[in-house]
């Protein structure tokens, strides 16, 4: 059985309460997600943090005729991981959305993440983070397309529009992405590690 990875999608200041483009109910996500990251590390899983890392002139920004407020500009406080989350030595950091004209939704889009995971011996991934109907959705779809065994941790995702969650989960399930809780998924790591 290959290694597992926990992919934490875009849990950045600008996507959390008080940020430029906040998702719904993100503060309730942070504590349980931190515990799950720590549990994954203890079980020997690879922890991946994806981050929107946009140039100021990104085409998705409203001042540049795009749909979104300016958010997660590379090197700014809004692009930092939201405390209490923090990367540690050995974690993988993926910066995405750096192409001025690309959406940059998926952690796999132009980032080399798939190859990096394979080098580390990863065969199965769990997806968490923000926002369910955008970056979480596309990262999960691309993980499944790349033939990783992919699980969506449904208690550790947050949407911009919470009414979209059920539809997105159904779409992902139809594409071969399984659903699980964080506790259930962490339990499978302990079994495989034993």
pLDDT tens digits, 108-158: 999 999 999 999 999 999 999 999 999 999 999 999 999 999 999 999 999
pLDDT category at 191 given cuts 50, 70, 90 is low
Number of H helices, E strands in the chain: 5, 6
Burial class (CB in 10 A: 0-12, 13-18, 19+), 163: exposed
Residue that is written with structure tokens 């994954």 in the block: 40
Q: What is the mean pLDDT of the chain?
A: 96
| Rounded Cα gap, residues 35 and 24, in angstroms | 20
Give alpha helix (H) positions in the chain: 27-42, 113-119, 137-145, 165-174, 182-193
Q: Report if pTM > 0.85.
A: yes
| Active site amino acids | 10, 96, 135
22-45: burial string, b at 16+ Cβ within 10 Å, e else: bbbebeebbebbbebbebbeebeb
* Alpha-carbon span 11 to 26, nearest angstrom: 9
Q: What is the pLDDT of residues 85-114, one digit of tens each?
A: 999 999 999 999 999 998 889 999 999 999
Q: What is the CATH number of the domain that holds 17?
A: 3.40.50.850
**Residues 6+ away with beta carbon under 8 Å from 61:** 54, 68, 69, 70, 71
Q: What is the pLDDT of residues 60-78, one digit of tens each?
A: 999 999 999 999 999 999 9
Instruction: Report how far residue 119's alpha carbon sits from residue 96's, in angstroms, rounded to the nearest whole number.
Output: 20
What is the domain extent for residue 40?
Answer: 3-193
Number of independent structural domains in the chain:
1
At residue 168, the pLDDT reads: 98
147 Cβ neighbours under 8 A, 6+ residues apart:
none
């Amino acid at each position: 059985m290959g290694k597992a990875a926990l992919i934490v999608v875009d849990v950045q200041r600008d996507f959390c309460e008080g940020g430029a483009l906040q998702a719904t109910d993100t503060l309730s996500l942070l504590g349980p997600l931190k515990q799950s990251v720590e549990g994954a590390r203890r079980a020997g899983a690879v922890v991946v943090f994806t981050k929107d890392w946009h140039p100021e002139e990104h085409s998705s920004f409203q001042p540049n005729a795009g749909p979104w407020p300016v958010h997660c500009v590379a090197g700014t406080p809004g692009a930092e991981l939201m405390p209490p989350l923090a990367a540690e030595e050995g974690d993988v950091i993926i910066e995405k959305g750096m192409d001025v004209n690309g959406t940059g939704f998926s952690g796999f889009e132009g980032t080399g993440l798939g190859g990096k995971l394979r080098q580390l011996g990863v065969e199965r991934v769990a997806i968490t983070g923000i926002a369910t109907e955008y970056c979480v959705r596309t990262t999960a779809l691309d993980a499944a397309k790349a033939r990783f065994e992919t699980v969506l941790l449904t208690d550790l995702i947050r949407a911009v529009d919470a009414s979209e969650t059920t539809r997105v989960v159904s779409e992902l399930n139809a594409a071969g992405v399984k659903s699980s809780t964080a506790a259930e998924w962490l339990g499978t790591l302990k079994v495989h590690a034993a």
